[in-house]
Structure 1
């Protein structure tokens, strides 16, 4: 399994970096203990921020700037961390999906990084972060069609499947025995990635049966 960042992305967003965790795990309904952690995180963040603060959070701010550099409106196509924090601050909370997605989202809203988790049985081995050309769409999770043009998006040999705003249905995380890649999208380099990858790994160890956890950074 190889990950890379296309030269066009690097030229427009020189600090684009990916933090990758690859692991085998049983994806299942979220346990009560993980739900407690999930809900306490949401409660803490709801009281910590007001809406105006969200765009000032460093990793959210730099993702928005990257979208502008790539030709995408960060207000019309909010990155996932920003969108989730806006829901939280408005008191709307977040949906419960499964154990892996809950951990994904805990780390995302806590750090400000947008993160995608993907079923590796549904993608090919060579994956590249690219700027999407004009007019591209794919079927998003819970959405019939997502306009992905100009977004920084993961591609395999079959085409695009995930980005910091909205992932495709193709590699979505479903219940069962899975090999998963969780991808942290950074546009301000690698300085804080190790910390948050360790936090992600710790939650996997505490709340799932994840094994053979491999972590690495792509710059």
Structure 2
């Protein structure tokens, strides 16, 4: 499978970078109490912080809104997914517990202040390309609504769109039956490459500690925008 970060993004945001973690032979279940407690505590901390500041005071939220503006995406109309999580917490709405993989993915997104997608690798075909969508791109979201991805950052395989830093698809959702997965980290452009690699290594270690299996890490950026991963 080839992974590619397209020039349609890099021309507008030259320091754009995306991390991929591929997981093999994982076991997903209900989240253990340790993860639930950690996610609850982190949400409580965010809620307390937001009594003294706004969601836009988080560096990762502000930086991603700036990325959207550079790409001519209205960040008020189409919010980056991590900002939507922060705003949900700000309203006093706790994140629902879905399964250990999705819950940990939400924790990472809040912790690192970036959009992160988690997908069932076994339903993805041939390649993964990340680019600015055209009028032909449509994505059925997790809520079964059809999303027009024209002009937005979108991830596609040979079947079609399956994810983005805004909304993810029903087709590629991760469930307790999922055994192989891919996680896409939409990293902050300001994060140096070595720090980006450290972040991915830390996330992969925590994910496999909880779900067993094996992980492989890849980082796409201006100097390395295409990689054959298998």
Structure 2 length-normalised TM: 0.87
Range 104-113 or range 197-206, more displaced: 197-206
Given the superposition, is the C-alpha separation of residues 173 and 84 from structure 1 closer, same or farther in structure 2, using an over 3 Å criterion?
Answer: same
Secondary structure of 1:199 counterpart: helix
Superimposed CA distance per residue, residues 73-131 of structure 1 (whole angstroms, 9 cap, x where no aligned partner): 10111011000011112211111111111111101011111000011111113111110
User: How is 1:76-95 mapped onto 2 (pairs within 5 angstroms)?
Assistant: 76-95=77-96
- In the alignment, structure 1 segments of 5+ residues that lack a partner are none
In the other structure, the counterpart of 2:225 is none
Contact 1:26–1:177 (CA under 8 A) maintained in structure 2: yes
Superimposed CA distance per residue, residues 5-58 of structure 1 (whole angstroms, 9 cap, x where no aligned partner): 111111012121111111121122212222112211211222123596322323
In the other structure, the counterpart of 1:6 is 6
**Displacement, 1:200?**
1.6
Range 95-104 or range 130-139, more displaced: 130-139
- In the alignment, structure 2 segments of 5+ residues that lack a partner are 222-230
> C-alpha distance in 2, partners of 1:127/1:50?
40
In the other structure, the counterpart of 2:187 is 186
Superimposed CA distance per residue, residues 176-198 of structure 1 (whole angstroms, 9 cap, x where no aligned partner): 24111111012515524234323
Contact 2:208–2:215 (CA under 8 A) maintained in structure 1: no
